[in-house]
């Protein structure tokens, strides 16, 4: 098999349940040029260097190859995840002001009690059931409720967000075979609808004091100024989408991994204080974000003897780097007490995940409560049915049999 089809095989849905042998192949090849002119990188040290390299852009407008996938929604610019410094830094600082340090240092920690109550109520609602879908019954509603409260969005509108979010994510799905132009049109329409909805909501908050992020964006400008309306729409859409999909997959991948490793599950049940480290290990071993498909070289960049030409698309396969045996001891082994665990679960460099403190707390609380309260949980299907996306990878459903619910 020649190097140029590796990406096609990685994105092939047939390999979704276990892409890791393909990542091992990728690490052997270092920077692998694909049939469409993009470059795949999968070793830990190359990824780490490229994540911190200012010659690598997150802005796809810098691509010189035809970028058919790039259709921006009229009236809504790309969000800061897809922009470079200094624009990225200004927008990220404004978005961070009501979310984390230095201005709102306690914001996320203060949500722990509320997140525990949401998790408890979702599990209480499973009383009397012997078969559940962990995704629909728990892993999806938990982070969605949390991000809606944080942003100040009505929970009743959740069904609309779900459809919009799915359309936006399908728009960046690189799996060949499906109609990319059609998916792009649907993604653009969904981003616009979502942006307009969130923009109107923020407008209604002007002049009213409340502790949600949309209110803060319109009422509390900081040293970096405030968003223009299009910037606000783009940022709110990004936060809502990021808060929807990734954490769902971390919780679901987490339960799947623990149910496959009953000893680890038992140990965490007995010693819940180990959970923060177990969640870090999950972010390394079964991460929700498998690759960053948006990078572009701003100039010719040499990676281990291969020149990635200026303007070429560069795909950093984070999940491969986090399993690199040159960096991690016994990397294909799930070790919930692992130390020395600088994984790429949240990326790295200036774009490192903005929501990481929230995602960590949500996953720790979710998994602690699930293993404490689900009696004799058992996987019904292994592997479970996966979502389509090879980028945001996780089960679409995780059917479990349970013997009941602990009080
Ligand atoms: C387990 C859950 C999560 C995972 C695995 C995850 C992963 C990531 C990764 C890998 C990146 C880097 C993207 C890049 O370099 O291009 C990123 C960026 C980002 N994440 Fe997360 N994320 C999670 C949860 C969240 C949550 C809950 C939020 C919102 C509250 C969030 C907001 C963001 C934002 C805004 C960025 C862009 C940061 C920037 O460009 O400076 N994420 N995330």
Taking each helix axis from N to C terminus, what angle separates 275-285 and 229-260, rounded to the nearest 10 degrees? 100
> Which residue's CA is minimally distant from atom 43 of ligand 1?
353
User: What local confidence, expressed as pLDDT, does residue 188 receive?
Assistant: 87
Out of 125-139, 172-186, 387-401, pick the least confident: 172-186
The alpha carbon of 243 and the centre of ligand 1 are apart by a number of angstroms equal to 8
Residue of 213, 224, 353, 363 with the most ligand 1 atoms within 8 Å of its CB, for mutation: 353
Please answer whether residues 224 and 87 qualify as being in contact, where contact means their C-beta atoms are separated by less than 8 angstroms.
no
Q: Answer yes or no: is the C-beta of 58 below 6 A from any ligand 1 atom.
A: yes
User: What local confidence, expressed as pLDDT, does residue 4 receive?
Assistant: 65
Query: What is the percent of the chain where pLDDT is above 70?
Result: 96
The alpha carbon of 391 and the centre of ligand 1 are apart by a number of angstroms equal to 13
Name the band, by pLDDT with cuts 50, 70 and 90, for residue 165.
Answer: confident
| 71 or 270: which leads in pLDDT | 270
Q: How many residues does the chain have?
A: 407
What are the pLDDT digits (tens) for 212-245? 999 999 999 999 999 999 999 999 999 998 877 8
Please answer whether residues 352 and 344 qualify as being in contact, where contact means their C-beta atoms are separated by less than 8 angstroms.
no
pLDDT at 176 over 60: no
The alpha carbon of 235 and the centre of ligand 1 are apart by a number of angstroms equal to 12
- Please compute the mean of the pLDDT values over residues 359-378 and round it to a whole number: 98
- Rg (alpha carbons) of the chain, rounded to whole number: 21
For 317-353, give the DSSP string: -HHHHTT-TTTSSSTTS--TT--S---STT--GGG--
The alpha carbon of 353 and the centre of ligand 1 are apart by a number of angstroms equal to 4
Q: Answer yes or no: is the C-beta of 254 below 6 A from any ligand 1 atom.
A: no
| 98 or 73: which leads in pLDDT | 98
How many Å apart are CA 190 and CA 193, to the nearest integer? 5
Task: Give the ligand 1 atom nearest the CA of 238.
Answer: 35
The alpha carbon of 129 and the centre of ligand 1 are apart by a number of angstroms equal to 34
The alpha carbon of 201 and the centre of ligand 1 are apart by a number of angstroms equal to 23
> Which residue's CA is minimally distant from atom 31 of ligand 1?
355
Q: Answer yes or no: is the C-beta of 295 below 6 A from any ligand 1 atom.
A: no
What are the pLDDT digits (tens) for 110-148? 999 999 999 999 999 999 999 999 999 999 999 999 999
User: What local confidence, expressed as pLDDT, does residue 68 receive?
Assistant: 55
Name the band, by pLDDT with cuts 50, 70 and 90, for residue 36.
Answer: confident
Name the band, by pLDDT with cuts 50, 70 and 90, for residue 171.
Answer: confident
> Which residue's CA is minimally distant from atom 9 of ligand 1?
346
Average pLDDT of every residue of the chain? 92
The alpha carbon of 9 and the centre of ligand 1 are apart by a number of angstroms equal to 26
- Please compute the mean of the pLDDT values over residues 242-251 and round it to a whole number: 91
Q: Answer yes or no: is the C-beta of 242 below 6 A from any ligand 1 atom.
A: yes
- Please compute the mean of the pLDDT values over residues 271-291 and round it to a whole number: 98
What are the pLDDT digits (tens) for 42-88? 999 999 999 999 999 999 899 987 665 556 677 889 999 999 999 99
The alpha carbon of 91 and the centre of ligand 1 are apart by a number of angstroms equal to 14
Task: DSSP letter for 20, please.
Answer: H
User: What local confidence, expressed as pLDDT, does residue 66 receive?
Assistant: 61
Q: Answer yes or no: is the C-beta of 243 below 6 A from any ligand 1 atom.
A: yes
How many Å apart are CA 327 and CA 325, to the nearest integer? 5
Cα-based distances in Å from 141 to 24, 99, 257, 381 = 35, 21, 20, 22
What are the pLDDT digits (tens) for 6-24? 999 999 999 999 999 999 9
Name the band, by pLDDT with cuts 50, 70 and 90, for residue 184.
Answer: confident
Q: Answer yes or no: is the C-beta of 322 below 6 A from any ligand 1 atom.
A: no
Task: DSSP letter for 392, please.
Answer: B
- Please compute the mean of the pLDDT values over residues 372-401 and round it to a whole number: 96
- Please compute the mean of the pLDDT values over residues 180-199 and round it to a whole number: 87
User: What local confidence, expressed as pLDDT, does residue 1 receive?
Assistant: 41
How many Å apart are CA 72 and CA 226, to the nearest integer? 22
Task: Give the ligand 1 atom nearest the CA of 345.
Answer: 5
Task: Give the ligand 1 atom nearest the CA of 344.
Answer: 10
Assigned token pair, 252:
């679901």
| 338 or 188: which leads in pLDDT | 338
Q: Answer yes or no: is the C-beta of 235 below 6 A from any ligand 1 atom.
A: no
Out of 25-39, 228-242, 313-327, 376-390, pick the least confident: 25-39
User: What local confidence, expressed as pLDDT, does residue 177 receive?
Assistant: 60
């Amino acid at each position: 098999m020649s190097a140029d089809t590796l990406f096609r095989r990685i994105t092939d849905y047939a390999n979704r349940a276990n892409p890791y042998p393909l990542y091992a192949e990728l690490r052997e090849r270092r920077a692998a040029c694909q049939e469409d002119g993009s470059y795949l990188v999968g070793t830990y040290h190359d990824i780490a260097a490229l994540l911190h390299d200012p010659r690598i852009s997150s802005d796809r407008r810098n691509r010189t190859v035809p970028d058919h996938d790039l259709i921006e929604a009229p009236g809504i610019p790309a969000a800061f995840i897809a922009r470079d410094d200094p624009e990225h830094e200004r927008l990220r600082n404004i978005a961070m002001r009501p979310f984390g340090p230095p201005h709102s240092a306690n914001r996320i920690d203060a949500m722990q009690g509320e997140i525990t109550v949401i998790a408890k109520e979702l599990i209480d609602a499973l009383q009397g059931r012997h078969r559940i879908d962990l995704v629909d019954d728990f892993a999806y509603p938990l982070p969605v409720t949390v991000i809606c409260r944080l942003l100040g969005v009505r929970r009743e509108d959740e069904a609309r967000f779900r459809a919009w979010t799915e359309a936006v994510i399908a728009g960046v799905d690189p799996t060949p075979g499906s109609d990319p132009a059609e998916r792009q049109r649907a993604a653009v329409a969904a981003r616009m609808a979502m942006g307009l909805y969130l923009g109107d909501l923020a407008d209604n908050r002007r002049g009213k004091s409340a502790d949600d992020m949309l209110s803060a964006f319109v009422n509390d400008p900081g040293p970096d100024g405030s968003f223009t309306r299009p910037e606000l729409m783009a940022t709110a859409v990004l936060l809502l989408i990021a808060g929807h999909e990734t954490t769902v997959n971390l919780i679901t991948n987490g339960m799947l991994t623990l149910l496959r490793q009953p000893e680890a599950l038992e140990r965490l049940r007995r010693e819940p204080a180990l959970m923060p480290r177990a969640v870090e290990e999950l972010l390394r071993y079964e991460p929700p974000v498998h690759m960053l498909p948006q990078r572009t070289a701003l100039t010719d960049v040499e990676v281990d003897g291969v020149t990635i030409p200026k303007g070429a698309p560069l795909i950093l396969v984070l999940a491969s780097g986090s399993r690199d045996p040159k960096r991690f001891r016994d990397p294909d082994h799930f070790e919930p007490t692992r130390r020395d665990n600088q994984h790429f679960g949240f990326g790295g460099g200036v774009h490192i995940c903005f929501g990481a403190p929230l995602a960590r707390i949500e996953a720790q609380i979710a998994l602690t409560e699930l293993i404490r309260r689900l009696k004799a949980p058992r996987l019904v299907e292994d592997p479970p049915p996966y979502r389509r996306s090879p980028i945001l990878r996780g089960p679409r459903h995780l059917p479990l049999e349970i013997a009941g619910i602990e009080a």
